[in-house]
């Protein structure tokens, strides 16, 4: 069976090194001193698994001597000394060691300033502890320089920016899963093609969610590791559990933590953390993600298992549903946010087919992708998002879509979250559309969420694999009150949940199966007291 496990790290198999550059890189580490080393003379001791990885990066060569590996993606749990080895050690190898090039720019990047500073501190600590380097290398604030080659190692935070004129000779990125800046990523990637033999080395723990830069890079690396893509210049090193693995199995711990037998991390500390995680759901998720490299769904308090949700990804046959009764739900949100329209068709087996479409302003779509770390432009090209002209969502486009839905399908109701909805509801109501409002309180939403959860868990929620809808679902955090009523929230996330909310509304109304009748215009626009009449009570 195909596996992503890099077996060559463990099996002592020969690693090609025709010119001895792999051996040279390992010897460079042997010459370094580390201020916290307990070895004689504070010698840097390179763990065996890191030695194998270093040899695999620098040993294999093209016939003309060029390094074959140009990109490294190493996903490894915390405690493996990746910041010290990759950021510090390889950063020095390329800036002041054998891999340096004249005037070469070597960058230490990370998802946060603190993480970037930590990698640089490891490098400068080794420079000062290694007499030969301490006498030669100049440390100047946030960068260090080889005075003869004029090559330098510089801190670059993922929170910052980088001019597109930069030509990196090597880039070492730590914790890609929290990198927020795609502009930085693009500048680095496009700049590296100008430097012969440039190396990009990514080290990260597992992340959350199936969207964003880290997920895209992990997915690509994983396909190479599985043999689905052939790219000799890209080296995937992925220490992750197999599907269905037991996070409490110590055999798994050794599988995904290649340095565990050497004390990286400490086994007894892992055991204690796992013991405490058994009864603490949030800590269990953290343990699985950061210590066991499980790639988790986005929410810290997830609504449903996204693996179960994904079982409903088969295409929905809209043509076969034209005559069947359906219920429509609309979540408009603010004019600068994502708006969602979801249609639900109940079947005779207590299940639902759903179709979703999303709307947002066309202007600033690229900036919105940067902010939310998801591919809005790609989703628009795929037809899942309708970008409306201008810098705010044009509600007329949503109204036109709702009118089209009623022409095409047997629409029983169109339910609105009443917030911001009057501009769309009123003209539809004037034309006799079956408009109702559905307040976002627990009285109406708790039963709807319960029904939606039941359908998903029962594998009777068919959504066609809409990626925007999936993103909304994986962003949902669930709160439960004392009576056991559930409500959907973003939690601490800024990500969107509009599609999940609209899906709950549509399924909730479809489960009732009877229309309460459209509201009157007076009910929509307010009576003498200015209050709206809501479906489901106060």
141-176, pLDDT tens digit by residue? 888 999 999 999 998 755 555 555 577 999 999 888
Domain 67-238 fold is Rossmann fold (3.40.50)
pTM, whole model, 2 decimals?
0.66
pLDDT score recorded for residue 535:
31
Q: CA triplet 446, 311, 495: central angle to 5 degrees?
A: 55
pLDDT-derived band at 522 (thresholds 50, 70, 90) equals very low
Tell me, letter by letter, the H, E, C secondary structure of 321-372.
HCCCEEEEEEECCCCCCCEEEEEEEECCCCCEEEEEEEEEECCCHHHHHHHH
Are the C-beta atoms of 447 and 509 separated by less than 8 Å?
no
pLDDT score recorded for residue 489:
74
pLDDT score recorded for residue 492:
43
pLDDT score recorded for residue 518:
47
**Tens of pLDDT along 224-268?**
999 999 999 999 999 999 988 999 999 999 999 999 999 999 999
Q: Can you tell me the mean pLDDT for 485-514? A: 80
pLDDT score recorded for residue 117:
87
Residue 269 above 90 pLDDT? yes
Q: Locate the domains of the chain by residue range.
A: 67-238, 306-525
Domain 306-525 fold is Nucleotidyltransferase; domain 5 (3.30.420)
Greater model confidence, 513 or 238: 238
- 243 forms beta bridges with none
Q: Can you tell me the mean pLDDT for 115-127? A: 91
Examine domains 67-238 and 306-525 and report if their fold is the same: no
Closest CA to 438 of 463, 413, 458: 413
* Percent over 90 (pLDDT), the chain: 62
Q: Can you tell me the mean pLDDT for 280-300? A: 81
Phi-psi region of 294 (alpha: psi -120 to 50; beta: other; left: phi over 0): beta
Residue 198 above 70 pLDDT? yes
Residue 123 above 90 pLDDT? yes
Question: Which residue bears the tokens 């601490």?
Answer: 492
- Exposure string of 367-403, with b = 16+ CB inside 10 Å and e = fewer, is ebbeebbbbbeebbeeebbbbbeeeebbbeebbeebe
Residue 516 above 80 pLDDT? no
Residue 215 contacts by C-beta under 8 Å, 6 or more apart in sequence?
207, 209, 295
The 8-class DSSP code of residue 518 comes to P
Phi, psi (deg, nearest 5) at residue 169: -85, -30
For the chain, give the mean pLDDT.
86
Q: Can you tell me the mean pLDDT for 298-311? A: 75
Q: How far is CA 484 from CA 279, 473, 479, 504, in A?
A: 20, 20, 9, 17
Q: Which of 257-271, 295-309, 369-383 has the highest mean pLDDT?
A: 257-271
**Tens of pLDDT along 428-480?**
999 999 999 888 777 778 899 999 999 998 999 999 999 999 999 988 877 77
Residue 415 contacts by C-beta under 8 Å, 6 or more apart in sequence?
327, 328, 329, 330, 436, 437, 438, 505, 506, 509, 535
State which H helix or E strand residue 268 sits in.
helix 267-277
């Amino acid at each position: 069976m195909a596996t992503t496990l890099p077996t060559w790290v463990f099996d002592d198999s020969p690693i090609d090194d025709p010119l001895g550059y792999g051996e040279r890189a390992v010897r460079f580490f042997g010459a370094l001193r580390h201020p916290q080393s307990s070895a004689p003379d504070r010698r840097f001791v390179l763990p065996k698994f890191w030695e194998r990885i270093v040899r695999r990066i620098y040993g294999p060569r093209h016939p003309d001597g060029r390094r074959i590996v140009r990109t490294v993606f190493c996903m490894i749990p915390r405690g493996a000394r990746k910041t010290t080895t990759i950021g510090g050690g390889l950063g020095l190898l390329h800036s002041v060691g054998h891999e340096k090039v004249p005037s070469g720019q070597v960058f230490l990047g990370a998802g946060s300033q603190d993480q970037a500073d930590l990698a640089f501190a490891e490098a400068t600590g080794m420079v000062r502890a290694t007499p030969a380097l301490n006498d030669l290398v100049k440390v100047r604030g946030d960068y260090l320089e080889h005075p003869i080659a004029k090559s330098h190692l510089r801190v670059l935070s993922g929170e910052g920016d980088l001019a597109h004129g930069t030509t990196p000779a090597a880039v070492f990125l730590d914790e890609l899963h929290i990198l927020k800046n795609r502009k930085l990523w693009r500048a680095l990637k496009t700049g590296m093609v100008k430097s012969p033999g440039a190396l990009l080395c990514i080290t990260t723990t597992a992340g959350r969610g199936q969207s964003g830069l880290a997920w895209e890079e992990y997915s690509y690396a994983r396909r190479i590791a599985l043999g689905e893509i052939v790219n000799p210049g890209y080296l995937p090193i992925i220490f992750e559990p197999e599907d269905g693995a037991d996070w409490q199995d110590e055999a798994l711990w050794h599988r995904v933590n290649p340095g565990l037998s050497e004390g990286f991390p400490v086994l007894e500390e892992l055991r204690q953390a796992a013991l405490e995680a058994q009864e603490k759901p949030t800590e269990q998720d953290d343990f699985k993600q950061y210590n066991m490299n499980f790639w988790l769904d986005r929410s810290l308090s997830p609504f449903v298992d996204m693996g179960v949700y994904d079982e409903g990804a088969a295409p929905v046959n809209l043509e076969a549903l034209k005559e069947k009764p359906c219920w429509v739900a609309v979540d408009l949100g603010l004019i600068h946010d994502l708006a969602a329209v979801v249609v639900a068709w109940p079947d005779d087996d207590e299940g639902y087919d759903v179709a979703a479409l999303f709307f947002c302003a066309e202007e600033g779509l690229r900036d919105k992708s940067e902010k939310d770390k998801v591919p809005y432009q790609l989703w628009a090209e795929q037809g899942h998002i309708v970008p409306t002209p201008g810098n705010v969502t044009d509600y007329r486009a949503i109204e036109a879509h709702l009118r089209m839905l009623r022409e095409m399908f047997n629409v029983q109701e169109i339910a609105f979250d009443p917030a911001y909805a009057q501009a769309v509801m009123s003209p539809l109501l004037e034309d006799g559309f079956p408009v109702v409002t559905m307040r976002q309180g627990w009285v109406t939403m708790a039963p709807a969420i319960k029904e939606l959860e039941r359908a998903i868990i029962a594998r009777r929620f068919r959504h066609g694999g809409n990626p925007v809808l999936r993103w909304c679902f994986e962003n949902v955090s669930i709160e439960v009150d004392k009576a056991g009523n559930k409500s959907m929230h973003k939690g601490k996330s800024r990500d969107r949940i509009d599609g999940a909310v609209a899906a709950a509304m549509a399924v909730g109304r479809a489960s009732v199966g009877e229309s309460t009748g459209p509201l009157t215009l007076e009910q929509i626009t307010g009576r003498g007291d200015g209050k709206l009449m809501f479906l489901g009570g106060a």
